[in-house]
Amino acid sequence: MLAVRAGVADGAPDPWAAAGSVASTEPERRSGRALGSPLSLLATKAADLDAAWVAVQAVMGEVDLAMSRFREDSELTRCNRRSPGSVAGVSRPLTRALTQADRAMRVTGGMFDPRVVAALEAVGYVGAAQTGPGPSIATARAAPGRVLHRDGRDGPISLPAPVDLGGIGKGLALRWAADAVVRGGFHAVAPGTGFLIDAGGDIVTVGVPSVGERWRIGIEDPRGGAEPLAVLELSGRAAVATSSIQRLRWDHKGVAAHHLIDPRTGEPGGDGLLAVTVAGPDPAWAEVWSKTLFLEGADGIAHAARRRGLAAWWATEDGRIEMTPAARVRTVWVAGEA
């Protein structure tokens, strides 16, 4: 999870002050909930903030109805229940999300694999029933094939196995919400204007909070500490996402479990890690890479992140915060280094 400081925040801990002033004026904010998480829109010079907030909420609602595994009436639930059968009339948002998930699986060599519904349910992370009349998928171990098949450009879609679009769905929602706000004319290219959308700690920014300033983001301590582990800065069109077991960790039949499933084993992965944060130009890909890197575990994450040139921060079970060189240049404060 991440905390946002874009200006002087009430009750801001010392690291924010130590890192320096961020913006001369506090941005306006609208807050609510979407996709099972808190949702906020922060903006500067926001004469039309209410219109922008309506656009953000509309996109989030559309994504929830299309992609939620926790809704009986979602399109994804309908498709999963028909797996491996075909479904006609699938909406453009869900089609785009499934296509993006398929591409992410191929780009990551199968480390990101959304075909983990059975594995999630096996460890107790159950939403609306996703099992249909097709054959049962016992585990999510990596297997050949694709996330989806489609009969022609506009034909029916079939899912060889049920999928979960939780993380990448939120990333796409942030991407599309930012696009909707820009299309609505909110963000002019004028200096010192911008907005930030925060969906449960996953963030997309456009522009800056004020002239010469940047958005300041704190990486929360997954062990529950009051101060952030590090503070980083974003500006322009940028994103940051975190894969963490801070809030989604439980005991299942006497065994510790969480929702980040390793497709190579069909079991919760990421040995030695509590959270991984990735910054980049796009929120959906930041989501993909944060989960992919988490599954490398504490022993493999540094090599995997540096090999791909990713800006990544990770918190280990023994309380350390580590980062790649690409992340270091974005970082303005680190716990223990002040």
Q: Which two tokens stand for residue 135?
A: 């054959």
Under 8 Å between Cβ of 44 and 209: yes
> What is the model's pTM?
0.90
> What local confidence, expressed as pLDDT, does residue 131 receive?
74
Q: CA-based angle 206:179:235, to the nearest 5? A: 10
For residue 8, is pLDDT > 60?
no
For residue 23, is pLDDT > 90?
no
| pLDDT range class, residue 46, cuts 50, 70, 90 | low
> What local confidence, expressed as pLDDT, does residue 211 receive?
76
For residue 117, is pLDDT > 80?
yes
> What local confidence, expressed as pLDDT, does residue 184 receive?
86
Amino acid found at 191: P
Q: Among 1-10, 93-102, 201-210, 255-264, name the most confident range.
A: 93-102
Residue 66: alpha-carbon gap to chain centroid: 17
Amino acid found at 97: A
For residue 140, is pLDDT > 50?
no
Neighbours of 126 (CB within 10 A): 13
Helix, strand, coil % over all residues of the chain, rounded to 5: 30, 25, 45
**46 compared with 41, residue with greater pLDDT:** 41
Instruction: Tell me how far apart the terminal alpha carbons of the chain are, to the nearest angstrom.
Output: 22
For residue 15, is pLDDT > 50?
no
For residue 42, is pLDDT > 80?
yes
Give the residue-averaged pLDDT of 118-147. 71
In tens, the pLDDT along 296-334 reads 999 999 999 999 999 999 999 988 999 999 999 999 999
Reduced to 3 states (helix: H, G, I; strand: E, B; else coil), residue 321 is strand
Beta strands in 142-292 (DSSP E): 149-150, 157-158, 194-199, 202-207, 215-219, 230-234, 238-244, 249-252, 255-258, 261-262, 267-268, 273-280
For residue 190, is pLDDT > 50?
yes
Amino acid found at 74: S
